[in-house]
Structure 1
Amino acid sequence: MATTVELTTHIAAPPETVWRRVMTPRLLDYVAAPLIRFRYPKGFDHQRWQVGQHRAKMRFMGIVPIGWQIIGIELPASPDEVTKLLRDNGYGPMIKRWDHWIVIRPHLSGEGTQYTDRVHIEASALTPFITAYAKRFYAHRQKRWRELAHSDFAALEG
């Protein structure tokens, strides 16, 4: 069984700024916290995502170990001149498929960014539970994005 979760929000920052930030592991760490904390291997480049597979250990609420996940970074071709795409074609021991797409484009109002998280999930019998969690997780991430943009990304500068 597979499912898809998709959420879209408005981020009060230019698409170029949002794209620059989404390309950093530091942004993922910030927007996922405190629900999920990632631990990367020694020597991992925290400055910018590199195309390829990155294995990260995860902790629920920063405390409970929940195993590892492959973060599989891809940069698919854009369907047009203004849309940016990032794909995390990930998986782990509990989740056979965590195919997360981030779509960034100018907001229809002409101000800020239209930001979409779309994830395709396959986790056998756990799929309904993982899907319910994904809805909560991406709503949380997008809320953290909006707050971060309103603070002019100050929390990432420290």
Structure 2
Amino acid sequence: MTVIIEFNNGMDSKIEKVKINYRGNKITARNLIVSSVFHININEAWHEVQKSALLEFICKGKVKFKPITIKFPTYWKEGLSVKTKMLLYGFIPFGGIHTITFSKIDSKKFTIVTKENDAIVKLWNHKIFIEKIDENRIRYTDKIELYAGILTSFVSYWAKSFYEHRQKRWQLFVSNVNEGV
């Protein structure tokens, strides 16, 4: 197992090689975990993380989504599947049609689980969970299991930078909320 851990600006991230079953075969995939502490009330964070507008805000600069089947709803709903095109850095098409299925949204455990895939990334399972530290601080964690065939290593390092970017944008969002912007 390979583990890479970095600590920067209160953000922890790591990538691990893992063996998983995929379509009847044992394959080497990656687990990616990126976690940060944000100064925001857990209920407010939970309310915001369920909005498609937050996803678009935190991805800005790295990924632009262009929904192709339905518009993104204001709030994500369990069981919803959306098909979208992903444009890296706002203009480079990647992976063809990217499918995002919201398989679980648990307001008691502050957890969202998506199952995602496209022509390049065969498996992109994403779990968001929020933990209360105190009344005004949370730990926000993205955990991703991904497999992209021979591109798994490359995609996992790009995904690490993507989720670090997302959490930096989350921090910007929280700062704007706290300043009343």
Per the alignment, residue 130 of structure 1 pairs with: 155
Between Structure 1 and Structure 2, the one with more strand by share is: 2
Q: Distance in 2 between matches of 1:43 and 1:153?
A: 33
Per the alignment, residue 99 of structure 2 pairs with: 70
Q: 1:68: how far off?
A: 2.2
Q: Distance in 2 between matches of 1:48 and 1:153?
A: 22
Question: Would the aligned equivalents of 1:148 and 1:154 in 2 still touch at CA under 8 Å?
Answer: no
Larger radius of gyration: 2
Q: Distance in 1 between matches of 2:105 and 2:49?
A: 15
**Any unmatched runs of 5+ in structure 2?**
1-27
Same amino acid, percent of matched pairs: 24
Question: Would the aligned equivalents of 1:97 and 1:121 in 2 still touch at CA under 8 Å?
Answer: yes
Q: 1:61: how far off?
A: 0.8
Question: Would the aligned equivalents of 2:77 and 2:105 in 1 still touch at CA under 8 Å?
Answer: no
Kindly report which structure 2 residues correspond to 1:1-158, keeping only aligned pairs within 5 A, or say none.
Answer: 1-41=28-68, 43-51=70-78, 52-66=80-94, 67-75=96-104, 83-107=109-133, 109-152=134-177
Aligned residues: 152
Misfit runs of 4+, over 4 Å:
none
Q: Distance in 2 between matches of 1:6 and 1:15?
A: 20
With the length of structure 1 as denominator, give the TM-score of the two structures: 0.87
Question: Would the aligned equivalents of 2:72 and 2:82 in 1 still touch at CA under 8 Å?
Answer: no
Structure of greater relative contact order (alpha carbons < 8 Å, 6+ residues apart): 1
Q: What SS does the corresponding residue of 2:90 show, helix, strand or coil?
A: coil
**Any unmatched runs of 5+ in structure 1?**
none
Q: Distance in 2 between matches of 1:139 and 1:27?
A: 15
Question: Would the aligned equivalents of 2:69 and 2:84 in 1 still touch at CA under 8 Å?
Answer: no
